[in-house]
A and B are shown apart, each in its own frame.
Chain A
Amino acid sequence: MATEVSQSQARAPQPGIDVPGWLRKNLFSTWYNSLISIVLLVIVFQVVTGFFQWAFTTEGWIAAASNGRLILVGRYPAAELWRPQLALALVAVLLGLSGGVWRGIAQALTIGFAGMMLVLTALWTQLPPANPPAPLTTELVLVGIAALVGGAYAAGRAGGERLRWPIIAGWFLAYPMIILILQGFGGATVPTNLWGGLMLTMLLSVSGIVLSFPLGVLLALGRRSSLPVVKFFCVVYIELIRGVPLITVLFMAQLMLPLFLPSEVRIDAVVRAVVAVTLFSAAYLAENVRGGLQSIPKGQVEAARALGLNVVKTTLLITLPQALKAVIPVLVGQFISLFKDTSLVAIIGLLDLLGVARAINTQPEWLGFPGGVWRETFFVVAVIYWIFSFTMSRSSRQIEANLNRGAR
C-alpha cells in the first residue's frame, strides 16, 4: 500500500537531457550565434590546451615544491614545526566536532578540510625529502590530522547536542590558544618576525576578522548613538580610516610608529600589521553594519520599546540580530577582501604568502630556468588564495540559505 502511494506521488518524469537540442537552442540558434560560438570555442580550446601544455611541460613547479615549508609557514624554524602542526590539529578537532554536531556547512567544511589534508599528503609524497629531515614527516602529520578530523567528526555525531556549548567555548578559546602555541611560552619563544607564508596570511586575516567584527559593530552602533561625543568620535574615526588606503595605514604602523614611541619600546611587526588591518577593516565593517541597522523598520524598535525593553536589550535582541542577518553577504565580501588585502603586508616587508612567492622567485637556484619560475610560484599562491576565498563565499551562501529557511 505504502509503496503504491509513494509511486503515485513520484515526480513527473524529467525530460531527458537532449544534448543536440540544447546546443541548437543555446549556441547555434542563428547563423551569427553559430559563428560567435565557434570562434569562442576555438579561443577557449586554445587557452585550455595552452594552459595544460604549460602546466604539464614546465619544470618550474620544483621551485614551489622545494619551498613547501616556506610557503606554508615562512621562516618558522624547522625544529619548532610541531607548533603550527599542533595548532592545525587543534583546529581539526574543533572542526570535526562541529561538523559532527551541526552537520550542514560545518560538515561540508570538515569534509573539505580532510580532503585538503589528503590532497596535500599526496602532493607531499611527490616532493623531494625535507632538508634537514623533520623528526616527524609531514605526510604522517597530514594523514594524522585528516584522521583526527574523522575521529572528531564521529565523536561529534556520537556526542550530539550536549557538545554544542563546549565546542562554541572551544572556538572562542582556540584563537588565543593558537597564538600562544605558535609564539611559545616560557623561555622558548618563536619571534614573530620568523612567522610567514600561509600561516601569517591566515593569522592576519583571522585576527583581522575576529577583532574587527566586534569593533565594527560597536562603531556602527556608536555612529547611530544619540550621545554627541560617541557619535562624533565614531564618525571621525570611520571617515578618517575610509579616507586612506590600507597600504597607508600599514605603512604608518610599520615605519612611522617608532617616531611616536620611546626608542626602547618596539612593537612587534606582526602585531602592528594585525592592529592596522583590524583598525582598517573595522571602519568598513561599521558602515556595512550601519547599512543593516538602517534597513530595520522603525516599527521593530518601537514595538520593542512598547514591550518594555530598554535600549541595550532592544539593540542586542531585536535590531542587531536582524541587521547582521541582512548584511551577511556584505560582511563575508568584506572578509574575503580582507583576506586578500593582507597580501599588502608583502609591501611592508612581511613574508606573507605573496611575499614568500616573491622571495622564492629570486632564489639563485632558479637562475637556469628558462623565463624564471614566477609563473609557477604565483600560480600556486593564486590557487591557495582562491581555495580560501571560494570556501568563504560558499559558506556564506549556505549560512544565508539556512537563515532564510528559519525565517520562513
Chain B
Amino acid sequence: MKRQLLIVLVGALAMILAACGGQTPQAPASPAPADTSAPAAPADTSAPAQPEATEAPPATTAPPAGGVTEQPTAGGRIQTILTRGELICGVNQVLPGFGNVDSAGEFSGFDVDFCRAVAAALFDDPTAVQFRPLTAQERFTAVQTGEVDVLIRNTTWTLTRDGSVGLDFGPVTFYDGQGMMVRIDSGIETLEDMEGATICVQSGTTTELNLADNFRAIGVNFTPQVFEDADQTAAAYDAGQCDGFTTDKSGLVSYQTKLAVPADHKILDVTMSKEPLGPSVLQGDAQWADAINWIVLATIQAEEFGITSENIGDFLTSDNPDIRRFLGVEGELGQGVGLPNDFAARIISSVGNYEEIYNQNLGPETPFNLPRGQNALYTDGGLLYSPPFR
C-alpha cells in the first residue's frame, strides 16, 4: 500500500517535471535578450553602475516562452486595463533622468512621463498608473507573463526582442546611441579633435567595435584602454587614465553623476551607434500595440503642431482641420485604435508634448542638459517624425 502510494506520487511528480520540461526547448528565446543586450552593452542602458548588472544569476529561472502563454482575452488588453482602472507600467527606478523615485516618493523621468501619457490617454488622468519597477533581467518576463501592461524602461528595439522574445515595439521615444565623454578643459569638441587620444571602453561589447569603426571612418588615430566591466571603465576614466570615455549616452549621463567632479566633464554631441529606446507590449494584441504607437506619436505630432500643455486651449478652437481632428474636436480618429477621440488633447494637457517631456527630464533646465541631437523633430534635423493623424 505504502509502496503503491509512493509510485503514484513519483509518477505525478514525473509528469509535472515533464510538463515543465516541455517549456525548456523554448527557454533560450528568453535568455536571448540578455545576450543581445550585452554586446550592445549599455544598449540596455541600465547596465552602467547599477548593481543589478552583476546580479544576473538569480534570473536564470527558465522564463516562460514568450507570446504563446498569455493571449489577450476577448476584450483585449485595453479592456482589461479600463476595467482595472489603472495602467501597470514597467519602469526603471534607478536610471537618473529616465526613471527614478524622488524624495517625495513620486516616480519621475522621461520613460515615466510616457507611462503617464498612456494613462492620460486611457483615463484622462495621468495618475491612474501603477509603476512597476523592473530590473534589466526581469523586464521581458514581466511583459510576457502580463505582469505589466506596457514596458517603458529604456529598452533598445532590436530584431531579436521584436521576434523571438515576443514583444511588439512602439515608436522610438529616445534615440540613444554610443556617446563620448571628455573633460571640458581638454578643449575637445568633436571626435576629430581626439587625434592620438586614449579612450576608455568596455571590452567585448559592440561599443568597442563601434568606437574603432567610427574613428577609422574619420581617419583619427586613438589608443583604446579596454576594461572588463563598465564600472571599472568609468573609474579609470575618472582617475585620468584616458582622455575619453565611451558608452551609451544615457549611460554616460548616469556615469557622470558618479564621477569625482561631474561638472568638469561633458558629453560630446556625437552619436556612434544606434540604440533606439521605445515602449514595448506583448505581441499578439494589435489594438493595444496600435494604441501605444499613436499615444507616443501624438506627443511628437503635438510638438510639430506647436501645441503645448499651456497653449492647448487656443488650439482647441483652431480652424485648422488637421489640428481639430488631432485634438478630437471633430472626427473619430481615436476610435480606430481603441482610444477616446480626444486622447491627444488629454495627453498634451496633462503631460505635455514631446518637447515638454524631454525638457522636463533631460533638457537644459535639468542637471543632465542633454542636447536634443537625433531626438529633435525631422524639421529641425532630428529623427522624430510622426505619420499623419487622419
Binding site for B on A (CB under 8 A): 66-67, 69-70, 74-78, 131-132, 191, 193-194, 196, 228-229, 232, 236, 245, 247-248, 251-252, 254-259, 263-264, 266, 269, 347-351, 355-356, 358-372, 374
B138 and A368 within 8 A (CB): no
Contact among B103, B104, B263 with A368 in the assembled complex (CB-CB below 8 Å): B263
Give A368 to B145 CA distance when docked, in angstroms.
40
Chain A residues within 8 Å of B106, by CB = 75
User: Which candidate, B36-44, B94-102, B174-182, B240-248, is the interface stretch facing chain A?
Assistant: B94-102
Chain B residues within an 8 Å CB radius of A252: 61
Apart from A70-B103, A372-B258, list 11 A-B contacts with CB within 8 A.
A69-B104, A74-B105, A75-B105, A251-B59, A258-B70, A264-B83, A348-B135, A362-B94, A362-B95, A362-B96, A374-B258
From A132, A228, A254, A372, B6 is in contact (CB under 8 Å) with A228
CB atoms of A347 and B135 under 8 A apart: yes
Interface residue range, chain B: 35 or more
Among the interface residues B97, B101, B106, B145, which one has the most CB atoms of the partner chain A within 10 A? B101
Asked if residues B93 and A256 are in contact (CB atoms below 8 Å), the reply is no
Q: Are A263 and B80 in contact (CB under 8 A)?
A: yes
Q: Is the CB of B96 within 8 A of A255?
A: no
- Option from A193, A228, A349 in Cβ contact (under 8 Å) with B5: A228
Q: Which of B55, B94, B103, B261 lies in contact with A361, CB distance below 8 A?
A: B94
Chain B residues contacting A263 (CB-CB under 8 Å) are: 70, 72-73, 80, 146
Is B197 at the interface (CB under 8 A from chain A)? no
Q: Are B263 and A69 within 8 A (Cβ)?
A: no
| B64 at the A interface (CB under 8 A) | yes
Flag whether B141 is at the interface (Cβ < 8 A): yes
Whether a CB of chain A sits under 8 angstroms from the CB of B367 is yes
Contact B94 A359 (CB under 8 A): yes
B97 touches A364 (CB 8 A): yes
- Taking a contact as CB atoms under 8 Å apart, the answer to whether A228 and B368 are in contact is no
Partner-binding segment picked from B126-134, B298-306, B319-327: B126-134
Bound Cα distance from A77 to B104, whole angstroms: 9
Chain B residues within an 8 Å CB radius of A348: 135, 138
Q: Is B102 within 8 A of A363, CB to CB?
A: yes
Q: Counting CB contacts under 8 A, is B15 at the interface?
A: no
CB–CB B147/A258 < 8 A: yes
Q: Which of B57-73 contact A (CB under 8 A)?
A: 58-61, 63-64, 69-70, 72-73
Residue positions of B touching A, CB distance < 8 A: 2, 5-6, 9, 13, 50-52, 55, 58-61, 63-64, 69-70, 72-73, 80, 83-84, 93-97, 100-106, 130-135, 138, 141-142, 145-147, 254, 256-263, 366-368
Q: Which of B6, B102, B134 contacts A232 (CB 8 A)?
A: B6
B74 to chain A, nearest CB (A): 11
Measured CA separation A348–B55 after assembly (Å): 11
A92 to B130, CA, bound (A): 33
- The one of A248, A363, A367 in contact with B262, judged by C-beta atoms closer than 8 angstroms, is A367
Residues of chain B within 8 A (CB-CB) of A77 are 105
CB contacts (< 8 Å) of A248 on chain B: these are: 58, 60-61
Let me know if B101 and A351 touch, CB within 8 A: yes
User: Please, which residue of chain A has its CB at the minimum distance from the CB of B83?
Assistant: A264
Alpha-carbon distance A24/B104, docked complex (angstroms): 57
Report 25 cross-chain contacts, Cβ distance below 8 Å, ordered by A residue: A69-B104, A70-B101, A193-B132, A196-B105, A232-B9, A236-B13, A245-B58, A247-B58, A256-B145, A258-B70, A259-B64, A259-B145, A263-B72, A263-B73, A263-B80, A348-B138, A349-B135, A351-B93, A356-B101, A358-B50, A361-B94, A362-B254, A364-B100, A366-B257, A371-B258
Q: Which of A245, A349, A368, A372 contacts B134 (CB 8 A)?
A: A349
Known: A228-B2, A351-B133, A363-B103. A251 touches B58 (CB 8 A): yes
Once bound together, how far apart are the Cα atoms of A139 and B52, in whole Å?
36
For the complex formed, measure the closest distance between the CB of A246 and the CB atoms of chain B, giving whole angstroms.
Answer: 9
- Please name the 6 residue pairs, one residue from A and one from B, whose CB atoms are nearest each other, closest first: A247-B58, A75-B105, A349-B133, A367-B367, A359-B101, A372-B258
B257 touches A372 (CB 8 A): yes
Q: Give Cα A292 to B9, complex, Å.
A: 29
Within 8 Å CB of A229, what residues of B?
5
Measured CB to CB, the closest approach of chain B to A57, in angstroms, equals 14
A368 partner residues in chain B, CB cutoff 8 A: 262-263, 367
Could you tell me the distance between the alpha carbons of A254 and B63 in the complex, rounded to whole angstroms?
12
CB neighbours (8 Å) of A371 from chain B are 258-260
- What residues of B have a CB within 8 angstroms of the CB of A191 in the complex? 130
B327 to chain A, nearest CB (A): 32
Beta-carbon contact of A349 and B103 below 8 Å: no
Are B145 and A363 in contact (CB-based, < 8 A)?
Answer: no
CA distance A131 to B80 in the complex (A): 36
